[in-house]
Structure 1
Amino acid sequence: MATSLLTRVKARVDLHTSNRARGLIQGRGRSLFKGSGEDFDDLKYYQPGDKISDIDWKATARSGEPLIRQFNEERVRHLSIVADTSSAMAATAADGTSKREAMVLAAGMICFLAQKNGDLTGLVAGDERRPIQLPSRSSDGHLELLLRSIQQGTTTASSAPDSAWLLERAFRVTKHSTLMTIITDEARPSVEDFTLLRRLTTRHDVMVIRVADADPLQRTDLDHDVVDVDNPREVASLVRTSKRVARDVEAYRRARRDGITEMLDRLHVSHILTQGETTVVEDMIAMLRAREYRHARA
């Protein structure tokens, strides 16, 4: 019998992390999901020791005295995974592994974290022609179905990337305030998606995991053909060996990376650009640790 994807994820997490990191993954403290599981309750007058960040400035201006927002923590938190299952994610990652498998591993880590904390995880994926959506649940069977849906829905025959449709879909169908993890490739979300992404951040606590593309020229491996999955055609050897093309490609990719990074930082979205399946666990741990540190200081 084939090993389940969820079991494989748990094994990979255990193999790739130290004892200290493993404690974080197992949910040592729920501050990891802070901001995604609190409901507004009431206003009260500010007292010494209260957090400045909880002050409701509009209510304070109306009353003339400082007022802070009080929250009730939900017992169950909702997480959502927004997976780019386009043809672009069926290609090769920068480390030579499959971008699809890196995405499955990243999604599996989120599922594992949520289940350890007793939280619920849902899925938004697919495309306009074949949307994929799973409700928020926590059983092993549900999480296995979620990971299988991502893996089986991501092929070279999938539709071309459409991050605008995916972000719009995520906003429309995800009703609960969630910790939303968007998993895609290095070209997305594009700077043109700024407005859609900003709208998502008004309702959800958003993280973005981007999987870097392999070198499209593969100059050190000319014996093997290189095919562009977005525009299925072979990249000619003459192009792959051109120094000028190499410079232009690198300049374009650097400018695109910088633009997306600037956009995500501007929106205060936690994000990583990982090289692939071999690095995604460590990179996610670093991102989650940084989030925990920021929330502890807030």
Structure 2
Amino acid sequence: MSTPLLHRVKSKLFIHAHRRVRGMLDGEYRSVFQGRSLDFDDLREYAPGDEIKDIDWKATARHGSPLIKRYIANRKHQVLFAVDTGRDLAALAAGGTSKREVALLAVGVLGYLAIRHGDLVGLVAGDTASPELVRPAGTESALERLLQHIDRRVSLEAPQSDLDELLGFVARSVKQRCLLVIVSDDEEFTPQRLAILRRLHVQHEVLWISIGDADLMRAEYTDRSMFDVDGERSLPSFVRADDALRREFVASVADATARHLDQLEALGISGQRITGTEDVVPGLFHLLEAHQHARR
């Protein structure tokens, strides 16, 4: 019998993150919600000690005295993972492991943090076939089923990826405000995709995790047969061995990553590019930290 995926997540979290980092990661997750629900309830008069950032300035102008936004006193939050489970996620990540393993670890770590805090975790998985919604739940067994769902769907035989269809499904179908964590391959941001993300940002709190493509020009790949999972196109070995081309490739990846993060930031969305399993814990820490600072 295979080892449960959540057990593997916990083991890797213990191995790759010492106690201080785990504590900081846990704290950054907690600070995303700032101790309150995401759901707006009503307004009340300002009282000394209230947070200035909670003042509803438009309502205050109409009323003539400061009014504070109040939120539903419900400590359970929903964390929804939108994961591109097309065949692109079956390819190698930049760190040399499969993107599927990186995605499982990232979803597992954030999902585990959510459950530890009493929150609910759910999933929308999608490709060119119909997206599937796994309803949010708050138990480790539910998180295990969610991880198994991702693991089953991602393979070289899976349908092609279709991130726009996945995000469009979330925008149309998920009405309750949540923390939406999008997990994707390295993707370009087309005008259509940016429009969907802009809509999702209005509906939800959004985090973006992209899993970096493998550098096919790395020395250890020179003698291996490498092909594109989307069309089985191969890159000739003499091209992969060209040092000048490799330098251009590395520079282009850095430029594209910076451009994508700038585009996300312009929308008010925090993003992080993760290159491998070793990069998951520090990458998630920086993502949550950036999101918390962006909210202030």
| Common topology (TM > 0.5) | yes
- Number of residue pairs the alignment of both structures matches: 296
1:98 partner amino acid: S
Counterpart-to-counterpart distance in 2, 1:292 and 1:259? 21
Q: In structure 2, the residue corresponding to 1:144 is in which secondary structure?
A: helix
Q: 1:175-254 residue pairs with structure 2 within 5 A?
A: 175-187=175-187, 192-218=192-218, 221-242=221-242, 245-246=245-246, 249-250=249-250, 252-254=252-254
> Alpha-carbon deviations, 1:62-118, whole Å to 9, x = none?
223332212223132111011111221111111111111000000101221111111
In 2, the alpha carbon distance for the partners of 1:12 and 1:254 equals 27
The residue type equivalent to 1:63 in the other structure is H
Structure 1 residues 261, 191: closer, same or farther in 2, change over 3 A?
A: farther
| Per-residue Cα deviation, 1:5-58 (whole angstroms, up to 9, x for no partner) | 011111111122122222345568843334883332222233443222212122
Q: 2:12, 2:101 → 1: CA distance?
A: 12
Deviation digits for residues 145-204 of structure 1 (CA, Å, limit 9, x no counterpart): 110111111112223332211111112222221111111122255564111011111111
Deviation at 1:232, TM superposition (A): 1.3
What's the counterpart of residue 256 of structure 1? 256
TM-score (norm 1): 0.89
Q: Tell me, which stretches of 5 or more residues in structure 1 are unaligned?
A: none
Contact map agreement 2:35 2:75 (CA 8 A) in 1: no
**Residue in structure 1 matched with residue 9 of structure 2 by the alignment:** 9
Shift of 1:220: 5.4
Unaligned runs of 5+ in 2: none
Does the C-alpha gap of structure 1 residues 28 and 255 become closer, same or farther in structure 2, counting only changes over 3 Å? closer
Is 1:74 aligned to 2:110, yes or no?
no
1:123-156 Cα deviation digits (max 9, x unpaired): 0012242422200012232211110111111112
Residues 169/28 of structure 1: CA separation in 2 closer, same or farther (3 Å cut): closer
Name the structure 2 match of 1:115.
115
Q: Tell me how far apart the structure 1 counterparts of residues 188 and 103 of structure 2 sit (CA, whole Å).
A: 14
Residues 36, 78 of structure 1: 8 Å contact kept: no
Deviation, 1:266, is: 1.1
C-alpha distance in 2 between matches for 1:191 and 1:278: 33
Query: Which segments of structure 1 move beyond 6 Å, counting only runs of 4 or more?
Result: none
Q: Determine the C-alpha separation between the residues in 1 that align with 2:233 and 2:292.
A: 44
Which stretch has the larger CA shift, 273-282 or 180-189? 180-189
Counterpart-to-counterpart distance in 2, 1:294 and 1:239: 42
